[in-house]
Chain A
Amino acid sequence: MNERTVTASTASAPYGPLEPGLRDPVLGSQTCFRAVLDALAHPGRIVDLPQALAGSPPATLCEATASIVLTMCDIDTPLWLDPAASPAAPYFAFHCGAPLIEGPAKASFAIVSNPTALPPLQSFALGTDEYPEQSATLIIEVTDLSALHGVVLRGPGILDEARLSASGLPTRFWEERQALAELFPRGIDVLFTCGGRVAALPRSTRIG
């Protein structure tokens, strides 16, 4: 029921030009889930996602973002799209039925297609000490990903140290992320996507 209400509110785009979703919803989301799990288990590692989409990704978004959202989101996960990603709203409303919400504060998943206009990290759900899992997972589309240079990452899942460079991120992102570290276990998990690749920055990772 909720799905329909939301679908109706994004009435501007007709269904005609919608792209198909996952080629094989079961196998596609399983392999994609496994890849994201790998990325989260090894912060900073750049993981290739399987090519699971049957068509092209929705306008303005990259394939990795679309596959991750189709894998992770359903009617129980409020989804927030930044203005640059909002043309994809009908696609996600149709294929995963996730409720699309107005502000970032209550989103379980947030897609940031234009990282320069990234809202302050504090404005996303950080969870509570009792329920840290009630926090947001950010999917940020960056222009390039590299594990050869960039910030130094340490923590669970990293043997010694890892490096990650995500182009297109404002420098304040790393400062705001640093400020969240002391709130652990509260915090947010971030997935950087670029083309068909993903790298993760879970809340347990320390920077520097």
Chain B
Amino acid sequence: LIVTDAGFTRRHMSTAVDGEMVAAPTQQASHAARQHWLAILAGASAGQLETAWQGLTDKPAYRALRAPETGLIMLRGRVGGTGQPFNVGEMTMTRAAVQLLGSAGEVTHTGFGYVAGRSARRAELVALFDALLQDPARHDAITAAVVEPLAVRQQAAKARQSAKVAASKVDFFTMVRGE
């Protein structure tokens, strides 16, 4: 049963965000890139995101399209990764949507944030970074300053966890009777 992996949650959330994005005429090719940064942002802690936000030199003006709200989503799993999907249970999550405003007050980019748990600020920050990353003028700088360092840390944490789990692995053998 593969449901305890934290990556499961993140994959699931990326899918949810992607569902919302269908309505936006975003190029198909950029979907994968956006899923990637959203997955990493959604996996970051509130502190990491807040630090990154405070580190921005020019913070954009923005307004809430959907103020952060907490609700439940149904998690689905498959036995062994290949079985029929089934509902594992519900988890708490918080989502937010923000619109970046240009100099004339016009909406330039819309960002979405879906995070596990009940931190409103965390969802808002994910949405803000999502919106900023859609801006071609700021994409590369934010990727280098925020997304990549977070990705490296998450990768390392996952590797540590995997190593720890692997050390406790037990193989069960069925002794075949020699007849």
A residues with CB within 8 A of B? 4, 7-8, 10-11, 13-18, 20-21, 25, 54-55, 90, 93-95
Contacts and interface: CB of A to CB of B under 8 A. Distances in A.
A15 B110 contact: yes
B123 to A, nearest CB: 15
B109 interface: yes
Contact of B67 (A16, A25, A94): A25
Interface stretch (B21-29, B53-61, B146-154): B21-29
Contact of B64 (A4, A17, A20, A95): A20
Contacts of B65: 15, 18, 20, 94
Interface residues of B, number: 18
B23 A8 contact: yes
Contacts of B99: 16, 18, 20
A93 B66 CA distance: 13
Interface of B: 19-20, 22-25, 63-67, 69, 97, 99, 107-110
25 contacts: A4-B19, A7-B20, A7-B23, A8-B19, A13-B23, A14-B23, A14-B24, A15-B23, A15-B24, A15-B65, A15-B110, A16-B107, A16-B108, A16-B110, A17-B107, A18-B65, A18-B99, A20-B65, A20-B67, A20-B99, A21-B66, A25-B69, A54-B63, A94-B65, A95-B66
Contacts of A10: 23
Contacts of B66: 20-21, 94-95
A128 to B, nearest CB: 33
Nearest to A23: B67
Q: Lowest 6 CB-CB distances: which A-B pairs, in order?
A: A4-B19, A8-B22, A15-B110, A7-B23, A15-B24, A16-B107
Contacts of B63: 20, 54-55
A95 B23 CA distance: 14
B20 A4 contact: yes
Of A16, A17, A93, most B-chain CB atoms within 10 Å: A16
A161 B24 CA distance: 51
Nearest to A13: B23
